Every structure is written in C-alpha cells, then in structure tokens.
Amino acid sequence: MERINRRLGLLSALPIGVLLVLSFLAPLLVVAAFSVMPQKVFSLLNMPDFSAFSVIVSQGYYRSLLWSLGLAFTATAILFVICWPLAYGMAKVFGRFSLVLTLAVVMSLFVSENIRLYGWVLTLMKGGLIDGYLGVWFGIGLPSPLYKIPVIVFGLVYVYFPFMLFPLAQGIAMVPDDARQAATDLGASRWRVLTAIDLPLAAPGILVGSLLCFVLSAGAVAESKLLGGQTVIVIADDVETAFTFGQNWPLGSALSMILIVLIGGIAVFGLSRIDLDAMMGRNR
Amino acid sequence: MPIVADTILRLDGVAKRFGTFTAVHGIDLEIREGEFLTIVGPSGSGKSTLIRLLVGMDVVSAGAIWLRDKRIDAVPANKRPTCMVFQSLALFPHMTVGQNIEFPLKIRKVGPAARKARALELLDLLRLPRDFYAKRVTQCSGGERQRVALARALAFDPEILFFDEPLSALDYRLRKTLEKELKDLHTRTGKTFVYITHSLEEAMVMSDRIAIMRAGRFEQIATADEIYARPVSRFVAEFMGEVNLFAVHGPQKGGLVGKEIELHLNGEAAEIGLGLAANETATLMVRPEFVRFLTNAGTADFVVRGVIIAEYALGSRLQYEVEAASGMRLTVEKLRQDAFSGAVGDDIILGFDSVHIHMIRGE
C-alpha cells in the first residue's frame, strides 16, 4: 500500500516537476554553458575556452562583485539592528498591534519596488520634497543625499525591511518566556539575557532573515541605479550591461555564475545549520 | 522594622492587584530560616502570583518584603539572592547539562575550572552520573531534567529556594521518588525551601509547615499534623482530605445538638470543653479513620445511624460511604485487616469519640 502511495505521489508530482526543470533549471544550465564560451558568441556550438573568467579578473569586474557583497553585508547588518527591537515587540509585547504593523509593512510590498524608489528620489532630490519645502519655509537648502553610497544602503534597508522583520519576529517567538525569566532569576542582566538566551534561541530566525536580505541585496540593482545614480557599479549592473549594451553573453553568464555560486554556497551553508521544520512548528 | 532572629523572609501586608482584580490580599507571613514551607491552594488561589512577587518577577501593589534586615520588594529579580525552580523547569534548551548548571556561576565570573568542579559536585549531590555534564538537556528524561533544574538553582546558592509546582507534570511514581529526594535535599543543604503546589499530598510529605491559601489570603499556617487534626475552617478541613462535617448548635449555654448525631457522653458536653454558647452554631469534624462500626450504640461518645451505600478499595485501606437518615453522606475508612463484615445496603451504627473530634467555630 505504501509503495503504491509513493508511486502515485511521484506520478502526481511529475507535471510540476517537469515544469520546474524546464522553467527554472534549464535557463540556469544555458547560462552555465554560455559562461565557458569564447567572448561575444551567441551560440553554444563553440569550443569552451573559459576566456570570460580571465576577462573578469583582467578588467577588474571583481570590484563590482565586492561592492555588491559589501553593500549587501552592510545593509543586512543595519537591518538586523533596526529590526530586532521591532521584531521583539511584535513577537512578545505588542499583542494585537502586531497585526496592524504586519499589514502596514506588507502593504508597502503592494507597490512596485521601482516606483517606491522613485518616490524616494523625488523626496530627496535637489529641489525635491524635502529640499523644496525647507527652501520655501526656512530659506535654507540642504545638499541632496542622492547619488552617494550611504543612500544606496538606505535604499537596500528600506526595500528589504520586511524580509528581515518577519523571519526575525518568527525566530524571537520561538524563545520561551520562562527561559528568559529563569535567566533573570539566576542573576542575568538584560544584556546577558539577550546574548545568552535570546540571540542563540532566535538564531534560526536571524539566519533566515539575514540570508534573505543578503542574497536579495547582493543581487539588487535598482537601489544603486536609481538612488545611487551609478556612483558605484554593482555586479547585477555589470551582468545587465554585458547582456545588453555589451552584447557579450559569455561575460554576462560568467559574472552570473560567480554570483550564483557564491550566494548559493552561503545560502546552502546557512540553511544546513538550522531546523526549518522546528521553526515552522512542525515535528519531524 | 524588627526582625525575629530566625526569620529569613517577612511579608508585611503584601498585596497584588491586576486592574480591578485583587490576586493577593495584604498577606503577612514570616518564613523561618532553614524551614520547608509549602503554600497549598486550589488553582486561582493566588499562590503563583504570590511566588512571582517573592522572587521579583512581579512587583507588589502594596506592602513590603523583608529578607532578613533588607527590604527587597523593589529589588529586581536578577539582583535578589533568591531563586526559583519553575513548573516548566525552564532549562536552557540550547545548552548542555553542564552549561545549564554553570549559568549562574558564569554570571558571577567564576573561572571555568571552578565552575566545572562545582557543576560536577552538584551532579553528585543530585545523584546524576558525571558524564551528564556534556549531555544536551533536550536528551534528558523528565526526572533527569528535574534534577538538572535543581542543580542549576543550587549552583546559584540562593538564600531561599522557591519551587513553583515543579513535580506536577511528572508521573505518579517519579513524583513520589522526587518528593522524598527533595525532602532529603532540604535536610542535606539546610537551605530554606518555599514550595507551592495544589497537591496536599505533596505538601504533607515534605513540609515543616503548610500555608493554606484561598482567594488571595492565608486560611491557616501550621504543621501538617495541626492542620489535619485542627483545621480552622470547613475549607481547610475539606481541602486536607476526606472529612465528615456535622452542623451543630447550642440550644442553651453549654449544650450541643446536631441533626444526625446522638450524644452518649458521660456527663455534659460543657464538661469536656464541647459546649457551645446559646444559639452558637459550629461545625463538628471527624476524620474517616476515627469513625467506628458499632454493634451497640452505648460504646461511643457520638453515634450516627445510617445505611452503607458504597464500598471502595483504596489499596491498603477500604472506604465506605454511609447515608444518614437526614440524607447526609459520611465517609468511613478502615485498614484492610479491619474490614467491616457487612454489605452494601445494611443498616449500621457508626460511632466516634470526643478525643477524635474537632470543633470549627466562628465561621
């Protein structure tokens, strides 16, 4: 009976499986294959020469990769610090107000990321919402924060806020109240409760949130383009340029592969260290 | 505020209100150095709230708590030299047994070698194998976790150790074993233990004194024997196990009359201290084990006639339920070897003597 069940299960999963392989895996394989092709070819029927990778090193494309990783790391760290108190409140303090907060944060996702970023551009630009009103009301002008590196980090923090907040709140909800109380009772200060009890027990949520934010930020392009005005070129920008203006598919593919392998490696390593089932409240 | 020499903790009018609800009404209590005090009460009696006030997890609404000569009711939990074993045990699931036990020592910046030495000592004291030191608490059984929680609390070296129903989740046999171990641990460590439970049995086995709590107040505080034999109220009498309670009154000064009871006293009720004032009402109490089956009504001070309506086997004892003519139900208990020879449905005569009764007055 169990064997029949299993075969029926496999059979039922077949259509979606095929669809996933075709739509998800096949493009990746194509990109992987293109990454080893000679420069500027548009066919996979060439001798692989791995030249794209040497171009990446010789022409300094690794710098955009470092920018991406650096910005992603900074944004993730800031997101963690900002979201922790809020997530703590949602999980342990706010009660029904948490729902309002959740809705408010989720609503922002209903508007396209680009539109929201343009909103910030209009707000922050020279003669924009802030600068304009300051000029009219007080006769003072402020230098625009746009087109600098901090505003890119700000954009990343703003856009990926929900991706840190919700996993973190989920993680903190897993910290048993009595363990916190027992630690306090045994003499632990607030700081000690945070470091010895809260952080380790909320670790799965911290890891999921950080991974999501890091992975998404590392592949993000809109923030550096719209807010940063391409002050720095990030890896996703280079990939796009290689495929479009550059007409160099192998270079774009090679850059993509490096990003995919790096991020994939970090994600797999991170996810292997946590118990997602426990986090979702399921027993194994 | 003068403190009696052997009083370790003193409560002066301690109260706790949640909005309009008062959980604890102005309680006074003196806990003696080294005693095992158990606070017993049904759920909702305020005992959990009280213990949370005592360890500092909640703040008193009124009153003062003194630890020896220091007032501590405003001191936060992590600055109080007391500690609690939780109902849930509240072990830290991400730590090993050793790390759990060493937690309070680490906070006090005790060095790693000294910490480990103390943890191993405590494992010995709690009769846990030393190789448990590296075991994860999540892999321990219920009884083992219990001992780890105790070891962790003892590592803190508290002035007073509080217990919030730590045995309630365990099965019967393990509970019985741990009750005795806890009593033994109390003797060996010489610490003051304050234990709360809803189980009277637990309280009777372990405690030096028992405080019966009801609706946010103490009904009676005394030794187990005293509370069992001389409860101050019907509530305490009924809470302390099976009991037979007769409503009685004094028709005139020095008299005693009850609907179910025939008096066969040698002399007047007043002569043996049982007389009531005129029109005074009281409750006459007798425990089931002191009620005898009689063949002749003249051989007991008090006599009740009735019918056996049920018989229950309680292991070493047998329990009979008897209905008096008035409809009142009585409980009689006999050791197995003293089993009553009659059967359910028999008319019988029950009797008990004045030395075994207790009069609850002033209710």
Reference B54, options B166, B208, B158, B204; nearest CA is B158
- Rounded to the nearest 10 degrees, the angle between the axes of helix B97-107 and helix B142-155 is 20
- Listing DSSP states for B98-149 in one string gives HHHHHHHHHHTT--HHHHHHHHHHHHHHTT--GGGGGSBGGGS-HHHHHHHH
Beta bridge partners of B24: B16
- Rounded to the nearest 10 degrees, the angle between the axes of helix A149-173 and helix A62-88 is 40
Q: How far apart are CA B232 and CA A90, in angstroms?
A: 49
Query: Is residue B307 scored above 70 in pLDDT?
Result: yes
Own/partner pairs, A269-277, CB within 8 angstroms, 24+ separation: A270/A207, A270/A210, A270/A211, A271/A207, A271/A211, A273/A207, A274/A203, A274/A204, A274/A207, A274/A208, A275/A204, A276/A204, A276/A208
Please state the pTM of the whole predicted model.
0.82
Calculate the average pLDDT of chain A.
90
User: Is B83 in contact with A189 (Cβ distance < 8 A)?
Assistant: no
Query: Is residue A283 scored above 50 in pLDDT?
Result: no
Beta bridge partners of B282: B248, B361
**One-letter identity of residue A55:** V
Query: Is residue B4 scored above 80 in pLDDT?
Result: no
The β-bridge relationship of strands B70-71 and B347-352 is unpaired
Which chain B residues contact residue A185 at CB under 8 A? 55-57, 77-78, 83-84
As given in the structure block, the two tokens for residue B289 are 């084990």
What is the pLDDT, as a whole number, of residue A275?
67
The model's confidence at residue B259, banded by pLDDT at 50, 70 and 90, is confident
Burial class (CB in 10 A: 0-12, 13-18, 19+), B172: exposed
What is the pLDDT, as a whole number, of residue B132?
95
What is the pLDDT, as a whole number, of residue A272?
85
Q: B52, B84, B102, B103: best mutation site toward chain A, by most A Cβ within 10 Å? A: B103
The β-bridge relationship of strands B36-40 and B192-197 is parallel
The model's confidence at residue B3, banded by pLDDT at 50, 70 and 90, is very low
User: Is A186 in contact with B152 (Cβ distance < 8 A)?
Assistant: yes
Chain A contact present for B152, CB below 8 A:
yes
Reference A210, options A87, A65, A67; nearest CA is A87
Which chain B residues contact residue A191 at CB under 8 A? none
Which chain B residues contact residue A176 at CB under 8 A? 88, 90, 93
Percent of the residues in chain B that have a pLDDT greater than 90, as a whole number: 63
Beta bridge partners of B359: B284
Tokens 């392009």 — which residue?
A: A221
Instruction: Give how far B92 is from chain A: nearest CA, Å.
Output: 6
Percent of the residues in chain A that have a pLDDT greater than 90, as a whole number: 62
Collapsed DSSP state (helix, strand, coil) of residue B310: strand
Query: Is residue B1 scored above 50 in pLDDT?
Result: no
Whether the Cβ atoms of residue B33 and residue B7 lie closer than 8 Å to each other = yes
What is the pLDDT, as a whole number, of residue B264?
77
Reference B91, options B102, B105, B75, B78; nearest CA is B102
What is the pLDDT, as a whole number, of residue B240?
80
Percent of the residues in chain B that have a pLDDT greater than 70, as a whole number: 96
pLDDT digits (tens, 9 = 90+) for B9-22: 999 999 999 999 99
Query: Is residue B63 scored above 90 in pLDDT?
Result: yes
As given in the structure block, the two tokens for residue B132 are 């448990």
Query: Is residue B2 scored above 70 in pLDDT?
Result: no
As given in the structure block, the two tokens for residue A31 are 């990109």
The model's confidence at residue B40, banded by pLDDT at 50, 70 and 90, is very high
Mean pLDDT, rounded, for A92-108: 90
Chain B contact present for A194, CB below 8 A:
no
Q: How far apart are CA B284 and CA B303, in angstroms?
A: 13
Q: How far apart are CA B11 and CA A281, in angstroms?
A: 43
What is the pLDDT, as a whole number, of residue B257?
79
The b-or-e profile of B95-109 (16+ CB within 10 A means b, else e) is bbbbbbbbbbbbbee
Q: How far apart are CA B4 and CA B69, in angstroms?
A: 10
What is the pLDDT, as a whole number, of residue A280?
55
User: Which residues in chain B (258-287) have CB-CB distances under 8 A to chain A?
Assistant: none
Q: How far apart are CA B10 and CA B1, in angstroms?
A: 10
The β-bridge relationship of strands B257-258 and B244-249 is antiparallel
Mean pLDDT, rounded, for B77-92: 93
Tokens 């849930």 — which residue?
A: B88
What is the pLDDT, as a whole number, of residue A216?
94
Tokens 């096949």 — which residue?
A: A26
Query: Is residue B329 scored above 80 in pLDDT?
Result: yes
Look at chain A and count its residues.
284
Lowest mean pLDDT among A60-69, A151-160, B243-252: B243-252
Query: Is residue A35 scored above 80 in pLDDT?
Result: yes
Residue A21 is classified by DSSP as I
Q: What stretch of H or E contains B221?
A: strand B217-222
Reference A72, options A210, A231, A167; nearest CA is A210
Q: How far apart are CA B202 and CA B177, in angstroms?
A: 11
- Distance from first CA to last CA of chain B, Å, rounded? 33
Q: How far apart are CA A153 and CA A155, in angstroms?
A: 5
Collapsed DSSP state (helix, strand, coil) of residue B336: helix
Mean pLDDT, rounded, for B136-145: 91
Name which of B78, B90, B152 is nearest A188 (Cβ-Cβ): B78
Mean pLDDT, rounded, for B208-223: 94
Whether the Cβ atoms of residue B120 and residue B97 lie closer than 8 Å to each other = no
Q: How far apart are CA B317 and CA B11, in angstroms?
A: 41
Query: Cα B27 from chain centroid?
Result: 17
**Sheet with B244-249, edge to edge strand ranges:** B257-258, B244-249, B281-286, B358-361
Lowest mean pLDDT among B96-100, B124-128, B253-257: B253-257
Which chain B residues contact residue A188 at CB under 8 A? 78, 103, 107
CA angle B12–B14–B17, rounded 5-degree value: 160
What is the pLDDT, as a whole number, of residue B199?
85
What is the pLDDT, as a whole number, of residue A258?
93
As given in the structure block, the two tokens for residue B205 are 């086995």
Beta bridge partners of B258: B248
pLDDT digits (tens, 9 = 90+) for A187-245: 999 999 999 999 999 998 999 999 999 999 999 999 999 999 888 999 999 999 999 99
Whether the Cβ atoms of residue A125 and residue A144 lie closer than 8 Å to each other = yes
What is the pLDDT, as a whole number, of residue A4?
82
Highest mean pLDDT among A134-143, B166-175, B178-187, B354-363 belongs to: B178-187
Query: Is residue B107 scored above 60 in pLDDT?
Result: yes
Percent of the residues in chain A that have a pLDDT greater than 70, as a whole number: 96
Q: How far apart are CA A176 and CA B90, in angstroms?
A: 8
Chain B contact present for A48, CB below 8 A:
no
Calculate the average pLDDT of chain B.
89
Highest mean pLDDT among A130-134, A252-256, B171-175 belongs to: A252-256
As given in the structure block, the two tokens for residue B255 are 């008299």
Gyration radius of chain B over CA positions: 25
